[in-house]
Every structure is written in structure tokens, then in C-alpha cells.
Chain A
Amino acid sequence: MTGGEAEFRTITGHRGLDHEEPLIFEQGAVGRSGVDFPPAPEVTERLGGVGRTRPIGLPGLSEPQVMRHFVRLSRKNYAIDSGMYPLGSCTMKHNPRLNEKMAALPGFADIHPLQPESTVQGALAVMEKLAGWLCTLAGMPSVALSPKAGAHGELCGMMAIRKAHEARGNPRSRVLVPESAHGTNPATAALCGYRVDTITAAADGRVDLAALREKMGPDVAAIMLTNPNTCGLFERDIVEIARMIHEAGAYFYCDGANFNAIVGKIRPGDLGIDAMHINLHKTFSTPHGGGGPGSGPVVFSAALAPFAPYPAVVCRDGRYCLVEGPESAGASADSFGRMVAFHGQMGMFVRALAYMMSHGGDGLRQVAEDAVLAANYLLASLKDVMTASFDGPCMHECLFDDRFLKDCGVDTLDFAKAMIDEGFHPMTMYFPLVVHGAMLFEPTESESRESLDELIAALRGLVAAARAGGSEHFSGAPRLTPRRRLDETRAARHPVLRWQAAEGD
């Protein structure tokens, strides 16, 4: 399997459809631009003596050059539109283009956040409608829409919790976080001035109730628990956990990254949680865009609702209004304040609402069921050849560890890279940290049975190849990609984070 196409060399360095593409800075020329402007009017400038005197160094490119550059770059990316992307905890589902079309309407895209409220009633109505859907799906009375992403939502929830404790005279000092949590959870707790105390997992991959009981105390401010958790398992003791937390006067923060497993079917509010962020860019299909933008609204229980941030949309006498600060009519005096300029990710609100309305309550419930069904189908179809970390059933993602690769000379990274050559984006690797060499698969509801079967067949074939002593096949992978394995150590030891003109340029 080694060699072959990978060693074939062309004169140009291009490889058919896969072009080598220099940086824009290596293509520019003085006197070229991709934009024409009308002549600027002749007036006396009023820049106050700080007009720019130095050149910037930006390259000049024409429109066709820019178009070709970015089209060529795009072809070096894997994407959900081109193949299966079973990246655990990331919910890479289909991104409907209707959402894009709606968000691009001038009535949403070409309006300013500080226009008079009378001129943006449609936008405020969208926010209010989205808030209604989120509250109904979560079974909770209140939502803050402004957080910009999941981690920003965590911050929103934890700041509300801190503010609620302060209102009772004691912020408390400790936040409990399971060891399987996303890194954003402890980082968020630390930003709110809390000490992070880790709770170990039980043998069944869930929170160890005995360990939790031991950690409880009057200084505990909150627990931050992902449910379903990052092992793809539902925390079956969640009601008891909520009871213990509340009995200690603490709050229950739920990381809603995995809401896709239960959307439309189970309501977190019924299980005793006080705050939860919802990633619109996961459960509600807004595109990940190569790393963002996201959107992370936070639903709140009645106990925490008064502490939510500004702004909020309210409806009075049929008119929508923004509560922008403590001076606004109807503002809660207990709010922890503002966490971002303006009102949140409107472009994502429109997309998410288009998705919700398309599915309806019935379709969203089907989303959760199909997502869970697909993950369990993978688990059932692979557990005889790969080592499942925990007994099933799982929720919307299934976790394997690297025991099945023992003595093969192949590790999780190698296995993932070999998947790339087979045409798949790999699963999440080495996360969660609670099992060795983790492989977390989240197929989502967007995959047909045929594509799930294709993945299963590919994985079974790779397992067989690894067992047959093909470690070289894996250690050299990927071979069919625009780049082979990249030297990450070198990148970190000698950071080159920008292009620099060569001497004499």
C-alpha cells in the first residue's frame, strides 16, 4: 500500500485538481487591485495630523486572482457537504442552505444593531420567537440570547450563578467539574474566580455519586455537568445529583453541547438543572465555518433568571423592545451586566429558527431519535472488533478506546490518519481523557444507513489491516491528501505566525 501515487512527481508541483497555492503575499503586485472605487471628492482632509504616513505592505491582486486563490484553498478542506464528519461532541450535521438564504435577506443582514426599535420589529420578533422555541425545548422559563459561542454561554451561566450567590451574601469558592468535561468548563469556572475541584468517574463512565457526596460542602457554588456526557452516556443519576446540589445551596450548570441527543424528546428543565447553554452551531445546524462563528444562548431556571445578562427582548402591547441595561424599562436590578456589544449572533438566530421551523416539534424529536439510533448502530456494528469503553446503549455518540489496537503497533492517531485516506473525517481523538486513546464517534441524524454502512465497512477493514501487521500502512498515513503529516513540534518550537517579506523586498 505504500508508495504508488504518493511518490509520483509533477514538474509544477500541482497534482491534477489539487494545486499548490502560494500565499496572497507572494502573488501581489503594486498597481493592482480587485476593487474599483469612484474618485474621492476634493475636500480638505480633517484627520487631525495623524494621517497614515507609512505603507502597510498589503499585496495587490485582481478579482480573478483572488477568486482562484480561495477556490484552490477551499479544495484542500474536508467538509460535511463532501463527506461524513463523525467528530464526537461536535455535531457535524447537515447545514441546510435555506438557513443561509434567510440570514442573507437584507432585512436581517443589512440592519444596524442601534437602529430605532421601530425600524427593527421583525428582527426583534425573530429573537423573541427563537427564545420561545428554546425555552419550550429546554423546559425552562427564561433564556439569554447574547452569548457568542458555547464557551461564552458557559461564562454567562456561571456568572449568573456567581451573581446569585453574591446576592445571598457569599459567592462561595468551589466548582465541581467531572474529569470527562470539556476543557472550557474548568477554564470558565476559573474566569469566574472559582477553584475547580475534579470529580472522578465511576466504572460505568458516569459521575461517581459517592465521590460527589464527599466533595459536597457549603463552599460549593455549582456543578458543571455535561449531559449526555462526553462518553456519550446519559447521567442516569441526574435527578439525584440535582437534589444533592440544591440541598447544599449550590446550582446545577449543564453543558448543553450534547443537546442533539435529547432535543424535542427530553427537557433538561424537568431534571432539575438551573442553567444550560445551547450551541446553535451544533444542535440547530448553523454552519461551523472552519471554527466559527457559533452562538450559545443560555436557558435559565426561575431561580437564576433575574441574574441573566443584558440585553433581552420583551414584548409590550404588541411592540418588541430591547432591555439594554439597568436604565431600561423592565430591567432586572440583579443582572450580572453586559457580556458583549450589541445583541448577540442575529445571523445565527435566523438560521437556527429556520431549522427549527423546518423540523417542527415532531421533526426535532425525530432528530434526537435518529442521532441516538445511528450512534447505537455504529456501536453494535463495531463492538466485536473495536473495544467499546462502556456498556451500551449510548446516546448520540459512541466511545471506543485503543485496547483493540494492543500489540498492533498502531495508535489512535495512526488509525485516524488512515481513515482520512479512506475518505472520512476522523472521529474525535484522545478525548474524553477518561479512557486510553479515546475515539469518539458522532454520526448525527444526517447520515443515511448506506453511509453508516460504508463507514462501518471501512473501520472493520482498517481493524483487520492493523491486526494483520500493517502498521506501516498506518504510520505513513495519510498519503492521498494535499499535505502528509505535519510537523507540529517544529511549529510550536519555532513559531512562524505570519508571512514576512524577504530581505530586500
Chain B
Amino acid sequence: MRYLPLTRADRQAMLSVIGVDHVDALFCDVPRQGWPQGPLDLPDHASEMAVEAALSAFAEGNLNAAQAPFFLGAGAYRHHLPATVSHLIQRSEFLTSYTPYQPEISQGTLQYLFEFQTQVAMITGMEVANASMYDGSTACSEAVLMARRITRRQKAILSGGLHPHYAAVVRTMTAFTDDEIVVAPAVVEGGEELAGLIDRETSCVVVQNPDFFGNPRDLTGLAEAAHAAGALLIVVVTEAVSLGALESPGSMGADIVVGEGQSIGNPMNFGGPYLGLFATRQRFLRQMPGRLCGETVDSQGRRGYVLTLSTREQHIRREKATSNICTNSGLCALAFTIHLALLGEEGFRALATLNHRRAVQLAERLAAVPGVAVLNPAFFNEFTVRLPAPAGPIVEVLAGREILAGVPLSRLYPGQAEFDNLLLVCASEMTGDDDIADLAEALEEIVK
């Protein structure tokens, strides 16, 4: 077996140093009941060639985004990945290191985490950010729990425009703790009013921007209403690239900003691994979940970095910790940091502009398809269209023609008839004129 260095002779020699005859003697504490009667029902070891062939066959069983005009978003986005990003995150020193518990030999990881925290704080318009969470949905539920700790209130109001999976995760995470979760009805065309739902029991209002249906919103008034009632405004961003084109949540009054960072530096990966972004105000620092990297000096007075404020965390505080999170998304955070470093101010804003304008082109073309209506007056890079028939079957037909047309909202709102004809479509810098034409022409044929 190519991954195992010990030879038969090594094993024998090591057993004699230990003073036993057989390796099973080292398992003497395992009760008899635990020993399987025979070998497990699994294949034997296989060559690299054989495993590569088998897994490649599985990969070929999928229609990947490069093989088809592609219009899916809804919390996972396809953007161009610079070769530099893919190369650098494969470097052994980043890929095969552990959490930086020994800072003297982990300055590489620690410095990029410090850079990551700074970048996240900058693009969200917040004061501090942590070193990452699992993904946007879990970061969102952590933010709700954090708002409860800060306000000592147990009622969270979720916008109807919050990603349905995110709302589901919040409900799951609060199911056992007597929290009240109020979910506002969805307003697909934008213009949702939430301020009227806030009362003196409200810990937080959770609102996605742009919302799940694609509508960007001015949250300034909502922030004021929340603060007037002593509640916090949590802003969720599922498409991090939008932060290059839209006013930052921080500048609109957010108290906590959580996001999905996948779209910067990370492939879609069929849903994971992804990258949870988590940023807040300095005054809430000690209620934050997750790891934090901080600047300090070494014994020679040179600047260096360490993990810090760990008295919030499970390995110190145990059942009183702010979260149970341990492993986070370090390598995805590195990919994000490298990609955003490559983009810089100019590149990031150019990327966002290109995404938006491609989406405008897509919207204008789809609006010209008879029977198809674009519902959003405004959007960033995705928007909702109404088709003259249920979107699910149409998407299936288009998939049969190798067009990945978007996300039918029935997939995320099953059993709710008012969503049946709605399709969420997304464009990015990867969307070409041909792609737009292919989708529009195919729709013209199908829906006429």
C-alpha cells in the first residue's frame, strides 16, 4: 500500500521493542464484542490508476458549468478563478498545515488570516471580522445566537427575502432554546417592509442584501428602526462580489454582517466547502464566535501574529463558549484572500460592474421573450423571472439541451404554488453573449 511506509520487518522490530508478539495484543482493551467476525464487506486496496479511472467516471456523470450555458446563483456563484489562486492554495505549506497553534512556525497562515480579516472588514464596511466560519448559512445562525447574547432577547425577525436554506438553519439552531423566530412573507418584486415587525422583545432583524430574489435594498431606515427598539440589524450577503458595486452593509448601519465568501476564490464544489464571513462592530468583539487572529510582537520586538481572545472559545470556556466551532474554512479563506489581493480596489469594482452589466443584458434579452417577465426593478447579478408555465419542468427540458437555465424557485419553496412559475437567473463575468442568446432562443421555443 503506497501510503504506508512500515515494512513487515519494521513492524516486527517495533513489536519486539514494545514487547508483544502480535499487533492485536495492542488492542487488548477492546471488548470481544467489538471484533468483527470476518473481513469487512469492502474492496481491497487499489492502484492510483484504478482509483483515478473510477472517480473520473463519476465526474463525467455530471454536466459541469463549462459544458453548458450556465445561469445558476441562489447562494453559490460561478466566477473565474485566476490560475494563481488555484496554484497557491495547493502549496504544501498552506494545504497540509494544521490550525496555527504554534505561532512561531505558523506565521504564514496567521498573516494571511490577518489580511483576510482586514479585507472582510473593509468590503463589509465593518470594524472587525473573524478568521472564517463554515459557510454563509451557519454564519447567519451564529449571528442570531450572538444577537441574543448581546441583547438578552429571544425573538429574531427574518426577512422573507432571506435564502430559504439560511432561514431553515436558523430555525434548526434555535429549535431547542425557546427562541421565537418570525419569518416575514416573501416579496419577490422587492419593497419588503420589516420595520413594523420590530418590537421591544426583538433581538435582531436578519435581512439579505441583495435579497434572495435579487433585489438590492437601502437598509438605512431599517437599521434606525432596529436600533430605536434596542435590536440589532444583521445583514446577510450571499454574493460577496456584490459588495464591489453596492453600498456596504456597514455604511447602512449593520451591527453584524455575515456572508458566503465562496464567490471570491472558491469553486462551486456542488455546495461545499464554502467560506463563512463574519464581521461586526468593535464593541461586540467579545461576543463573536470563531477564531480571531491578532497582531503582537515576538521576544525580539518584531511584528508577528497569534490566535487571540480565545477565552471566548470552546477549548477554554467549554460549555460557556460563544460557539462550539473549532475547525473553520482556513484554506477557503486563503483562496479568498489571494483572489481579492489580485483584484485590488480597481479589479474588484471592475468585476462587480461587469457582473451587473452582464445581468442587465441578460434581463433585457429575457424580457424580450414573449410570456417572460423580469420581476425585479433593480438587481445586482441575479433576478427573478416569471415564466408562463412551471419553471421546474422547463429547467429540466433545457438541461436536456445542455443549458443550465437557473434555479426554479419550486426547488426552494416546494408546495407553494405562487413560486411555481418563477425562475432565479444569474449572470457573471463568465456569461457570454452566446450563452444569453442560447437561453433566450431556447426559452422562446419552449414557452411559445
Contacts and interface: CB of A to CB of B under 8 A. Distances in A.
Contact of A79 (B4, B97, B244): B97
B60 A107 contact: yes
A191 to B, nearest CB: 6
A299 B219 CA distance: 43
B297 A490 contact: yes
B281 interface: no
B121 A498 contact: yes
Contact of A56 (B31, B111, B292, B348): B348
B229 interface: no
A33 B92 CA distance: 26
Contact of A234 (B30, B82, B106): B30
Given A115-B399, A184-B314, A239-B33, A52 B349 contact: yes
B306 A183 contact: no
Interface string A429-462: 0010000000000000111110000000000000
Contact of B137 (A123, A182, A341, A376): A341
B213 interface: no
B267 interface: yes
Interface in A92-132: 92, 94-96, 98, 100-116, 118-123, 125-126, 129
A137 B42 CA distance: 9
B129 to A, nearest CB: 7
A60 B347 CA distance: 8
B28 interface: yes
Contacts of A417: 104
Given A106-B66, A293-B332, A483-B103, A344 B271 contact: yes
- Which of B117, B129, B330 has the most chain A CB atoms inside 10 A of its CB? B330
B114 A360 contact: no
Contacts of B411: 114, 324
A51 B296 contact: no
B104 A485 contact: yes
A310 B268 CA distance: 20
Contacts of B361: 41, 43
B298 A485 contact: yes
A447 B5 contact: yes
Contacts of B320: 190
A373 interface: yes
A10 interface: no
B135 interface: yes
A297 interface: no
Contacts of B217: 48, 50
A21 interface: yes
B45 A486 contact: no
B134 A23 contact: no
A449 B45 contact: no
B354 A290 contact: no
A291 B318 contact: no
A37 B350 contact: yes
B163 A338 contact: no
Given A77-B105, A112-B404, A345 B306 contact: no
Given A112-B270, A343-B272, A363-B45, A482 B354 contact: no
B336 interface: no
Interface in A42-89: 42-61, 63, 66-67, 69-71, 73-82, 85, 87
Interface stretch (B8-16, B195-203, B439-447): B8-16
Contact of B96 (A70, A80, A155): A80
A201 interface: no
A178 interface: no
Interface residues of B, number: 213
A150 B99 CA distance: 14
Interface in A468-502: 478, 481-488, 490-492, 495-499
Given A35-B82, A344-B271, A496-B295, A369 B331 contact: no
- Which of A28, A292, A328 has the most chain B CB atoms inside 10 A of its CB? A292
Contacts of A155: 324
Given A47-B356, A92-B98, A495-B309, A81 B92 contact: yes
Nearest to B273: A293
Interface string A354-394: 10011111111111011011101101110000000000110
Nearest to B355: A40
Given A196-B318, A486-B103, A110 B66 contact: yes
Contacts of B115: 23-25, 499
A342 B172 contact: no
Contacts of A154: 324
A407 B337 CA distance: 47
Interface stretch (A210-218, A264-272, A300-308): A264-272
A338 B412 CA distance: 13
B16 to A, nearest CB: 10
B59 A105 contact: yes
Given A107-B59, A184-B324, A114 B343 contact: no
A360 B42 contact: yes
B176 A76 contact: no
Contacts of A314: none
Interface string A414-429: 0011001000011000
A87 B308 CA distance: 20
Given A149-B327, A290-B100, A495-B309, A373 B6 contact: yes
Nearest to B17: A380
B228 interface: no
B154 interface: no
Contacts of B324: 151, 154-155, 184, 187-188, 190-191
Nearest to B416: A327
A404 interface: no
Given A71-B91, A79-B95, A420 B102 contact: yes
B182 interface: no
B66 to A, nearest CB: 6
B168 A60 contact: no
B193 interface: no
Contacts of B131: 291
A482 B109 CA distance: 13
A470 to B, nearest CB: 18
A340 interface: yes
A292 B330 contact: yes
Contact of A267 (B34, B48, B246): B34
A148 B276 CA distance: 11
A192 B75 CA distance: 27
A357 B215 CA distance: 46
A341 B319 CA distance: 26
Contacts of A113: 76, 268, 270-272
A159 interface: yes
B328 to A, nearest CB: 4
A220 interface: no
A309 B34 contact: no
Contact of B98 (A85, A187, A373, A448): A85
A340 B137 CA distance: 6
Contact of A377 (B5, B17, B270): B17
B51 interface: yes
Given A23-B114, A288-B98, A446-B3, A46 B360 contact: yes
A108 B26 contact: no
Contacts of A376: 14, 18, 26
Contacts of B215: 48
B138 A148 contact: yes
A477 to B, nearest CB: 9
Interface in B343-363: 343-354, 356-358, 360-361, 363
Given A81-B96, A155-B324, A372 B64 contact: no
Given A37-B429, A490-B297, A109 B91 contact: no
Given A73-B107, A239-B31, A266-B34, 4 more contacts: A41-B360, A56-B243, A340-B165, A488-B308
17 contacts: A51-B245, A52-B247, A69-B341, A77-B106, A79-B95, A116-B399, A121-B62, A125-B58, A149-B327, A264-B42, A293-B327, A340-B138, A342-B270, A347-B269, A357-B55, A362-B45, A498-B114
